[in-house]
């Protein structure tokens, strides 16, 4: 009887050990399987993200058939329009409107300001069979797309007949829907987003002062950007960037994909070329693209020269405050001699008590 009890106890203990070993083995197997499954998923996800990232240099060139149609779009005729820009602003003191005017004034371009009304009332566009304006700019693109049909028809007819382009700005606000379609355009817009890693489309035809470059790595200031999702081959991105948090959008977009912050409507659909900005002009690259757009859409009539001048003033350093005033011994090398070595275009203009160097004309950028 005692032998039987001892055997049962040993068998019970052996069974317990076996169960514990099996449970431990199962737990270890589950942990190892979960680790490898997670690692494989993470690697696959990283590979998919890497494959979804498109460099600006990889963007497709405009197809030949679309290129042929684009070349038939009527450009600005210098004999039929005056070199004046028509600017529609929200108010006389709006920030973006003042930025637009400041750039036009500094570039010495003529302009005419109108306060954009709700119905889209227009000034007189034609005088003695000649167009009064070479370009139309809207501080708020919604003032353009929401015009009543009569005024919109008049403006579109004028732009199509005289080869006048349109520039518009879309800036997100608290009341802006995060995802919507721009009325009258095959474009979906995502508003109130933050972006990063911007670059320039090297195939854009409007680049003049601006030069295409690699990614400008890092986030851009603000979370009120608008990016455009292009659904038509007649629209070409000019500046592209990645969305910081694409998972927060609805519908969600591919992480790491490039989205346009500036879009060029080539005018293939209705003969009117347009440029749409997804923010204001605070971003320095937007200012350059804006200057290039004015040049391109005006048929180079409103263009900045690529020549650059340097004015070197060498006398003021000797008349500073006592203690900071430079002396002759502080000057290690004669700048005039040094500049003569590098630029034969240097000339001097020296008057009584001064030693001025005339502007140096540098070769145009290539």
Q: Which residues pair with 181 in a beta bridge?
A: 188
How many Cβ atoms are within 10 Å of 280's Cβ, its own excluded? 18
pLDDT of residue 132: 94
pLDDT at residue 177 in the model: 58
How many angstroms separate the CA atoms of 114 and 120, rounded? Answer: 10
Q: What is the pLDDT of residue 79?
A: 79
Nearest 5°: CA angle at 206, between 204 and 210?
Answer: 90
Q: What residue spans of the chain are helical by DSSP H? A: 2-52, 64-71, 95-106, 141-145, 149-162, 284-297, 335-342
- pLDDT per residue of the chain (366 residues) written in tens, 0 to 9: 555 656 666 666 776 777 777 778 788 778 777 766 655 544 444 444 443 444 565 565 555 445 555 555 666 677 789 999 999 999 888 999 999 999 999 999 999 999 988 787 899 999 988 999 999 999 999 999 999 999 999 999 999 999 999 999 987 776 665 777 888 888 888 888 888 888 899 888 999 888 887 666 788 888 889 898 887 778 999 999 888 876 666 666 667 788 899 999 998 888 899 999 999 999 989 999 999 999 999 999 998 888 877 776 666 555 666 666 666 666 555 555 555 545 555 555 555 444 444 444 444 444
234-269: pLDDT as tens digits:
899 999 988 887 666 666 666 778 889 999 999 888
Task: Please identify which residue in the block is written with the tokens 């979906």.
Answer: 188
C-beta atoms surrounding 139 within 10 Å: 24
pLDDT value, residue 178:
73
The neighbouring-strand residues paired with 338 are none
- What distance lies between CA 287 and its chain's CA centroid? 9
Q: Is the peptide bond before 251 cis (omega within 30 degrees of 0)?
A: yes
Q: What is the dihedral of CA 15, 17, 19, 23, to 10 degrees?
A: 180
Q: Which residue has the tokens 């009890």?
A: 5
The β-bridge partners of 235 are 265
Asked if residues 172 and 225 have their Cβ atoms less than 8 Å apart, the reply is yes
In angstroms, rounded to a whole number, what is the distance separating the alpha carbons of residues 187 and 190? 10
């Amino acid at each position: 009887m005692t032998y039987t009890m001892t055997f049962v106890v040993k068998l019970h203990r052996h069974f317990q050990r076996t169960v514990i070993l099996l449970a431990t083995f199962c737990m270890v197997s589950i942990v190892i399987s979960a680790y490898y499954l997670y690692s494989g998923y993470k690697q696959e996800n990283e590979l998919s993200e890497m494959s979804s990232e498109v460099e600006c240099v990889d963007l497709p060139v405009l197809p030949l058939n679309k290129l042929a149609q684009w070349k038939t779009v009527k450009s600005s005729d210098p004999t039929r329009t005056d070199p004046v820009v028509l600017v529609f602003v929200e108010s006389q003191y709006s920030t973006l409107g003042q930025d637009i005017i400041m750039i036009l004034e500094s570039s010495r371009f003529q302009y005419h300001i109108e306060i954009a009304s709700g119905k889209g009332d227009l000034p007189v566009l034609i005088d003695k069979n000649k167009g009064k304006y070479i370009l139309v700019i809207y501080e708020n693109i919604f003032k353009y797309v929401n015009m009543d049909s009569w005024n919109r028809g008049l403006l579109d007819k004028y732009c199509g007949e005289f080869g006048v382009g349109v520039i518009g700005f879309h800036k997100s606000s608290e009341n802006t829907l995060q995802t919507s379609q721009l009325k009258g355009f095959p474009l979906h817009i995502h508003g109130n987003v933050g972006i990063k890693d911007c670059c320039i489309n090297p195939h854009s035809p409007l680049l003049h002062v601006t030069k295409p470059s690699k990614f400008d790595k890092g986030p851009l200031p603000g979370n009120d950007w608008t990016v455009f999702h292009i659904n038509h081959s007649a629209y070409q991105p000019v500046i592209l960037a990645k969305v910081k948090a694409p998972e927060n959008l609805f519908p969600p977009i591919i992480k790491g994909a490039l989205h346009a912050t500036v879009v060029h409507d080539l005018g293939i659909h209705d003969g009117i070329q347009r440029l749409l900005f997804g923010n204001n002009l605070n971003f320095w690259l937007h200012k350059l693209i804006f200057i290039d757009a004015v040049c391109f859409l005006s048929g180079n009539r409103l263009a900045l020269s690529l020549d650059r001048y340097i004015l070197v003033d060498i006398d003021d350093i000797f008349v500073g405050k006592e203690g900071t005033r430079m002396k002759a011994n502080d000057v290690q090398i004669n700048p005039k001699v040094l500049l003569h070595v590098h630029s034969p275009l240097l000339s001097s203009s020296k008057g009584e008590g001064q030693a001025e160097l005339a502007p140096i004309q540098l070769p145009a950028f290539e």
